[in-house]
Amino acid sequence: MFNEKDLQLLQQKGISQDTIQQQLRRFEKGFPYLKIECAATPGNGITVLTTKEFNACTELWRNYRATDGSILKFVPASGAASRMFKDIFAFITAGKAQPETDFEKQFFAQIQNFAFHDLLNQACQRLHGKSIQQLIDDGRFTDVAQALLSPEGLNYGAMPKALLQFHKTTVKATRTPLEEHLEEGAQYAADCNRNVNIHFTVSPEHRDAFQRLIDKQVPRLEKVWGVKFHVTMSEQMPATDTIAVDMNNAPYRDDDGNLLFRPAGHGALIENLNAQPQQVVFVKNIDNVVPTRLRAETIRYKKALAGYLLMIQNKIASFLNTLEHGTPSRKQLDTMLHFLENTLSTKFPATAQMDDKQLADYLFKKFNRPIRVCGMVKNEGEPGGGPYLAYNPDGSCSPQILEAAQINPDDARSVDIMRSGTHFNPVDLVCYLHDYKGQPFDLKQFVDPDTGLISLKSKNGVDIKALELPGLWNGSMSDWNTAFVEVPAATFNPVKTVNDLLRKQHQ
C-alpha cells in the first residue's frame, strides 16, 4: 500500500504504519455514537454555587496563590482566522457590486467601529490612494474587503485570531486577543511571586509573529500589572496528523501521488497539554476575551472555578490516601461514594453489589484521575457542544462534553435529550493535572479513542474524508473526574465571525 516515498514521509512525521492502519480501519467502521442518560442541568450534573460557596472557593484560590503552587494559563491559538471572515470571502468571490446580505450590510455600514479600522484605512490608502469611506462612496466595496483579507493588504484572512486587532482601548490604541489573555492571566493566575505562566499553541508559520508581539507588549504589561510573564509556545505535533482518504476510504493522493495528511483538530493538543509541568491549568479559547472594562465578572468566576477545583482535589487526595494506607470502614467508603456520585456526578449501578474490597478498588480507580471543572453557560443560541451525563466503556455514567455529531440523530430519545439541554460549553476549564502524590498524570492514558469524528472536506475540488482525534475537552478528557459549574453569560464572548466584534461586549 505504501511506497518508499510514503514511508519517508511517515518517518518525517513520526507516524508508524500501525497508526495509519488503525486510522484506515476507523474510516471503514466509523465512530460509535455515545449513549447518553440525560442532559446535565442545575441540580443534576451542573452545580450552581451559592454566595457562601462562591466566597469559600474564591478564598481557597487566594490561599493557593499565596503558596508556591504552580499555575498555567493554556490557550489554544493555532487556528487561522479564515472562518471568521468566510462571509467576506464569499462576498469577494461572488463579485458583488454592493452588499446584499444582512451580514454584508452590517459589516460595511459599521466598518468604522472595528478596532482594525485605522490599519485597514492605511492599507486602502496604500493600495488604492483612497480612504475606506472614499472607496465605499465610489462603490468599491470589494477593494475594501480585499484590502482587509489579501496578502497585499492586512492579510487578516490568513492570520491567526490571536494577532488581529479585536478591541479599542483609547481613540488610537487597540488590543489583540493575545494581549487580552496576558492581562487576564495577570489578574487571576499570578503566583505568590507575581509570576504568570501562559502557554499558547501556535502554527509554525505564525510563531515568529507571535514572538514579535510578545516581545513588544510583555515589558509594558509587566509594568502595568506588576507581574513577570513567562510565555511559552508549542506547535501541534506532526505525529498527531491523520491521513485523509477518498470517498472509498482509500488513502487520498494528489496529482503528484503524494499522501495527504491533515491536522487532527484540537484533540491533538492533549500532547501539548501533557507536556506542561504545572499542577493547575486554565484552558480557554483564544477568541473568548473582552476589553478590560468588562473583564471583572470573568475574573471573579475564574477564581471561583479554580477554588472549586482545589476543593475537589483536596477531598480526592484525602480519600486516596485513606484508600491506599488504611482499611476504610464501610461508613468511610459510603462517604466517598456519595462524593463521587453527587459532587462528581459519576454513578455505577454495580456498586450496590460490591463488597468493601471491590468498592475500595473501584473508588481508588475513579478518584485517581486528572480533574477538571468546566464552566457552563445557559443556552442562548450560541454554537458549541453541551454538557451531558453519558455512559462510559466500563458501564458507569459521568459528566461529558459532547458535540451534536456524537449523538445519534436517528435515536428519538437521544434527540429529545439533546433538545432539552439548558446549557452549553463555552470552553472555560480549570484542570488539576497531578495525582495525589504530586506526580503528573500521563494524560494520554485518559483519552477515549472511540470519540473522534470523521468529517467531509474538499481538496482541489475533490471530496475527501478527514479524521479528527477526540476533542481536547471532549473525548481527550473523557476519563477525567469532571464537575460542571454554572457561569454567567457575561463570561462568554466569543468571536466566531468578524461581525461579532460589533457586539457591545467588544466595543
Residues 138 and 226 in one domain: no
For residue 108, count CB atoms less than 10 angstroms from its CB and return exposed for 0-12, middle for 13-18, buried for 19 or more: middle
Residues 363 and 221 in one domain: yes
| Residue 237 covered by a domain | yes
Which pLDDT value is given to residue 80?
A: 79
**What does pTM read for this prediction?**
0.93
Tell which of 158, 193, 213 closes a domain. 158
Half-sphere exposure of 89 (CA within 13 A, CB side): 13
Tell which of 107, 129, 158 closes a domain. 158
How does pLDDT run across 148-193, given as a tens digit for each residue?
A: 999 999 999 999 999 999 999 876 789 999 999 999 999 999 999 9
For residue 250, count CB atoms less than 10 angstroms from its CB and return exposed for 0-12, middle for 13-18, buried for 19 or more: exposed
| Residue 218 covered by a domain | yes
Confidence of residue 405 (pLDDT cuts 50, 70, 90): confident
CA–chain centroid gap for 313, Å, is: 22
Which regions of 97-187 does DSSP assign to beta strands (E)? 167-168, 174-175
| Residue 76 covered by a domain | yes
Residue 38, C-beta contacts closer than 8 angstroms, at least 6 positions apart: 44, 45, 388, 389, 417, 420
Please give the grid coordinates belonging to residue 353: 453489589
Please give the grid coordinates belonging to residue 117: 479600522
Please give the grid coordinates belonging to residue 192: 505568590
Residues 342 and 425 in one domain: yes
Residues 401 and 343 in one domain: yes
Residues 123 and 223 in one domain: no
Which pLDDT value is given to residue 381?
A: 64
| Residue 102 covered by a domain | yes
Confidence of residue 383 (pLDDT cuts 50, 70, 90): low
In which domain, by residue range, is 387 found? 37-80+178-493
CB 470 within 8 A of CB 452: yes
How does pLDDT run across 213-243, given as a tens digit for each residue?
A: 999 999 999 999 999 999 999 998 889 999 9
- Alpha helices by DSSP H, listed for 326-373, are 330-342, 356-367
Rounded to the nearest 5°, which phi and psi values hold at 123?
-65, -40
| Residue 27 covered by a domain | no
Kindly report the CA angle at 209 between 208 and 215, in degrees rounded to 5? 85
How does pLDDT run across 299-323, given as a tens digit for each residue?
A: 999 999 999 999 999 999 999 999 9
Helix (H, G, I), strand (E, B) or coil at 41: strand
CATH (domain of 311): 3.90.550
Residues 253 and 344 in one domain: yes
What is the rounded distance in angstroms from the CA atom of residue 238 to the CA atom of residue 450?
21
| Percentage, residues of the chain above pLDDT 90 | 82
CB 414 within 8 A of CB 33: yes
What is the rounded distance in angstroms from the CA atom of residue 253 to the CA atom of residue 251?
6
CB 50: neighbour CB atoms within 10 A?
A: 9
What is the rounded distance in angstroms from the CA atom of residue 365 to the CA atom of residue 359?
10
Structural domains in the chain (count): 2
